[in-house]
Structure 1
Amino acid sequence: MKKTLRYNYRLNPTPEQEVKLIEFGATARGIWNLLLSETMRRYDYDKTFFFYKDMASLLKKLKSFEEFAWIKTFDSAAAQQVARDLEAALKNAFSKGRLQRFPKHKISYKRKKLHNDSFRAVNNSNCIRIENRTISIPKVGKVPIVLHRNLVSKIKTVTIQYRHGRWECSITQEVECKTAKNRLTSITGFDINSKQTVVGSNGFVSDNPKFLRQSKEKLTHLQRQLSRRKKGSNRWQKTKQRINKLHGKISRQRLNFAHQVSRQITNETGILVFEDLNVKAMQQFNGSMVADNVMGLITQLAKYKADLEGKLYHEIGRFEKSTGICSECGQRHVLSLSERYFTCTACATYQSRDLSAAKSIAKTGELDLIAAEIVARVIPTSQHKSAIKMKVFEVSKLVEGSEKKEAA
């Protein structure tokens, strides 16, 4: 089984290459707006939409006109990729399973004052390759790249973008996943909260580093400085870039922290059970706290890392109660956000609300997986009983008409 993953690298283009990359990003934006306008015009005319075949045919015809010579200077495969992206956005806007809006025109550089357009090049006939610490991009040339890790397979696509004052490329590659393990020796539930980022039922605790709060003083100073500048002046632009770079640093710190935590919890357990968090609704309640806690990012990274290692990732229902449930007797309690510890009214056990929630998530996930016949508990014989009581599972994935595997 193969999985497509992205690997991000930093670019150090020359001034001539940088001008070309900015031009290609603007061209990709122009093609998007052109095709979207034509799609909307056709819908007003006969209530039909432009899709990829019509878009590709239109781009081919427009190249012969002098007014559209800027399309001809652009990589043809990258232009076709813009058409594919627009087609996917149109279909997602009318899909019942996707909550996406109708695609909009992209804002021009004159309004945003930032060169943050992007374009995606496709590796046709090995036109994109890495040689001597450079990456060859069609119609741009060999751009120096900071190769902090080796490639794992052949390059599929490369997305070029200018973010937070730096040029970056995102390379997609196909990675071979490990064979799913037949026996998994542990199941762990993980509770994500505002105080500690992740609390595991096995005792794992990861405190929230709160990178935004660490840089809050410097960020406040720059924002006050920006308010005193004349909007649009050179000094205003310089201060704006400093704020943008500081936000980029905070973003990279959060991503690095999320990768480290998700890798550690994936290595320590066989079955990972999380809550299905409604991150969008939580952001409306306290957006900066949720963003600084990387709640949704950790679950996303843990999911794909579990797939790569041949382990299981499971999410319990969004409305399953986990907070305030006693880990010893199962008694339910109503707790406020300020109550981090509580005493059970039934068994008088004093416990942490986060640890008891993680244990409750693990139990609920275990029952869900057994009920869905995804895993089956293996009961050891008396001769093989160990001193340590450990839950052992066996992946069954039953087919209709087949018999359950007997515990060995």
Structure 2
Amino acid sequence: MKKTLRYNYRLNPTPEQEAKLIEFGATARGIWNLLLSENMRRYEFDKTFLFYNDMASLLKEIKPFEEFTWIKSFDSAAAQQVARDLETALKNAISKGRLQRFPKHKISYKKKKLHNDSFRAVNNSNCIRIEDGTISIPKVGKVPIILHRELASKIKTVTVQFRHGKWECSITQEVECKTALRVLKTITGFDINSKQTVVGSNGYVADNPKFLTQSKAKLNQLQRQLARRNKGSNRWHKTRQRINKLHGKISRQRLDFAHQISRQITNENDILVFEDLNVKAMQKFNGSMVADNVMALITQLSKYKAELAGKLYHEIGRFEKSTGICSECGQHHVLTLNDRHFICVACGVHQNRDLSAAKSIANTGELDLIAAGIVARVNPTSQRKAANKMKVFELSKFAVGSEKKRSSLAFIS
């Protein structure tokens, strides 16, 4: 099985290439606004939308006109990618399952004083390749690239964007996933909370480094400095760029931390059980705390890394209770955010709030996997005569309408 992954690299374009990248980003934004306006006009006329095939044909038809000569200098494959993105946004907006907002027109970078536009090029006929420390981008040329890691496979697409004062390219490649492990020896539940980033049922704890808090003094200083500047002046723009770069540093620190934690827990465990957190709702109460704790990012990174390694990733239901459950007897308790420890009213055992929640998540995930028919309890030969038996499961899938097992993969916890 193959999985599409995205790798980010830094670009060092020349002044001429940078001007071309800015122009192409603005062109992609112009095509988006043009196609979106046509869709809105079409919907007002006959209650229909234009989708990819219609939008691609429309772009081809308007190129000969003098008013749309600016589209000719743009890569045609990149223009088609804009149409694909708009089609996805329209379908998500009108789908009952997604409930996303209707797409909006993109604002000019001149109005925002920041050219943060982006465009995506497609590797047709090997037009995008890396040679001698440069990456060839259609109609831009060979742009110097900082290749900090080797490519995993053939390049599919390249997205170029200006972020936090630097040019970056995001390269998508197809990576082969490892075969599912025959024996999975550990199952661990992970609780993500505001105090620690991750607490595992096996005792693993990763404290939240709080990168935003570390840079808060410098950030406050720059924001006060920005308030003293005359808005629109050169010094105002320089201070604004410094604030933008500092936010970029904090973002990169969070991403690096999330990658390290997700890699460690994926390497040390064979079955990962997380809880499905409603991060968007949590951000309404304390958005900076949730963002600084990289809650959703760690689960996303752990999921794809587990799939690549042939391991098992599972999320329990969003409304499954995990906090305040005794890990010894299963007694439920009502706790406030200040209660970090509690004593079970049933068995009297002193419990750590987060560790108990992680163990509850592991138990719930185990029951979910058994109920779904993914795993089944068995006793291994080496443990049948032992007094203290370990939990052993057989990974299996049942045929529709029969009790016959198709496979006999096993894991031990």
Category of TM-score, reference length = shorter chain: over 0.9
1-side partners of 2:69 and 2:408: how far apart? 69
In structure 2, what is the equivalent of residue 275 of structure 1?
275
Match of 1:377 in 2: 377
Report the Cα distance in structure 2 between the residues aligned to 1:202 and 1:261, rounded to whole angstroms: 15
Q: Where do 1:42-81 residues align within 5 Å?
A: 42-81=42-81
Residues 87-143 of structure 1 deviation map (CA, whole Å, 9 limit, x = unaligned): 111111111111211111001112211110000000000000000110000000000
The residue number in structure 1 matching 2:323 is 323
For residue 288 of structure 2, what is the amino acid of its counterpart?
S
The reply to whether residue 99 of structure 1 matches residue 99 of structure 2 is: yes
- Alignment partner of 1:213 is 2:243: no
Deviation at 1:388, TM superposition (A): 7.5
Is the contact between residue 90 and residue 103 of structure 2 (CA under 8 Å) also seen in structure 1? yes
Tell me, in whole angstroms, the C-alpha distance in 1 between the residues paired with 2:313 and 2:393. 14
For residues 389 and 357 of structure 1, what CA distance do their matches in structure 2 show? 24
2:8 is the counterpart of 1:8: yes
Q: What is aligned with 1:397?
A: 397
Task: Quote how far apart the aligned CAs of 1:390 are.
Answer: 3.9
1:52-97 deviation line (CA, Å, top 9, x unaligned): 1111111112111122111000000000110111111111111111
Amino acid paired to 1:42: R
Specify whether residues 386 and 33 from structure 1 end up closer, same or farther in structure 2 by C-alpha distance, changes over 3 A only.
farther
Matched letter for residue 47 of structure 2: K
**Deviation by residue 1:244-290 (Cα, 9 ceiling, x = unmatched):** 00000000000000000001111111111011100011000110000
Amino acid at match of 1:403: K
8 Å contact from structure 1 (residues 3, 177) kept in 2: yes
Structure 1 CA distance, aligned partners of 2:235 and 2:55? 43
Please say if 1:240 is aligned against 2:233. Answer: no
Normalising to structure 1: TM-score of the pair?
A: 0.97
CA contact 1:279–1:295 (8 Å) conserved in 2: yes
Is residue 364 from structure 1 mapped to residue 369 from structure 2 by the alignment? no
Distance 1:67 1:321, change over 3 A: same
Match for residue 161 of structure 2?
161
Q: Does 1:108 align with 2:147?
A: no
TM-score (norm 2): 0.96
SS in 2 for 1:125: helix
Residue 369 of structure 2 aligns with an amino acid whose one-letter code is: L
Q: Secondary structure at the match of 1:169?
A: strand
Task: Check conservation: 2:197, 2:293, Cα contact below 8 A.
Answer: yes
Q: 2:145 matched to which residue of 1?
A: 145
Q: Secondary structure at the match of 2:355?
A: helix
Partner amino acid, structure 2, of 1:72 = K
Counterparts of 2:376 and 2:186, CA distance in 1: 13
Kept in 1, the 8 Å contact 2:383–2:389? The answer is: no
Q: Please state how far the C-alpha of 1:394 moved relative to its aligned partner.
A: 2.6
Quote the Cα distance in structure 2 between the aligned partners of 1:313 and 1:224: 45
1:196-345 superposed matches below 5 A: 196-345=196-345
**Partners of 2:368 and 2:376 in 1: how far apart?**
11
Q: Is the 8 Å Cα contact of residues 184 and 394 (structure 1) preserved in structure 2?
A: no
Q: Sequence identity of aligned pairs in percent?
A: 82
Q: Distance in 1 between matches of 2:19 and 2:388?
A: 64
Q: 2:23 is matched with which residue?
A: 23
**Residue 379 of structure 1 aligns to a residue in which SS?**
coil
Shift in Å, 1:291: 0.2
Q: Is the contact made by 1:181 and 1:395 (CA closer than 8 Å) also made in structure 2?
A: no
Which residue identity does 2:45 align to in structure 1? Answer: Y
Unaligned runs of 5+ in 2: none
Q: Cα offset for 1:177?
A: 0.5
Q: Tell me what 2:82 maps to.
A: 82
CA distance, structure 2, for counterparts of residue 236 and residue 389 of structure 1: 68
Q: Which runs of 5+ in 1 are unaligned?
A: none
Secondary structure of the residue that 2:153 maps to in structure 1?
A: coil
Contact 2:394 2:408 survives alignment (8 Å):
no
Q: Report Cα offsets for 1:129-173 as digits up to 9, x if no partner.
A: 000110000000000001000001000000000000000000000
Q: Which amino acid aligns with 2:95?
A: S
User: Which secondary structure state, in structure 2, belongs to the residue aligned with residue 153 of structure 1?
Assistant: coil
Does the CA contact (< 8 Å) of 1:341 and 1:351 recur in 2?
yes
Answer yes or no: is the 8 Å Cα contact 1:161–1:167 preserved in 2: yes
Residues in 1 aligned to 2:127 and 2:247: alpha-carbon distance in whole angstroms: 34
One-letter amino acid matched to 1:78? A
Q: Work out the CA distance in 1 between the residues paired with 2:384 and 2:223.
A: 65
Q: Is the 8 A contact 1:375 1:396 kept in 2?
A: yes
Q: CA deviation at 1:386?
A: 6.6
Distance 1:385 1:273, change over 3 A: farther
Aligned mates of 2:26, 2:296 — CA distance in 1: 32
Residue deviations 1:166-223 (CA, integer Å, cap 9, x gap): 0000000000001112331111000000111000001110000000000000000000
Q: Distance in 2 between matches of 1:382 and 1:13?
A: 62
The 3 A distance-change label for structure 1 pair 331 and 135 is same
| Counterpart secondary structure, 1:403 | coil
Report if the CA contact (8 A) 1:184-1:392 is conserved: no
Residue 166 of structure 2 corresponds to residue 172 of structure 1 = no
Deviates more, 1:336-345 or 1:121-130: 336-345
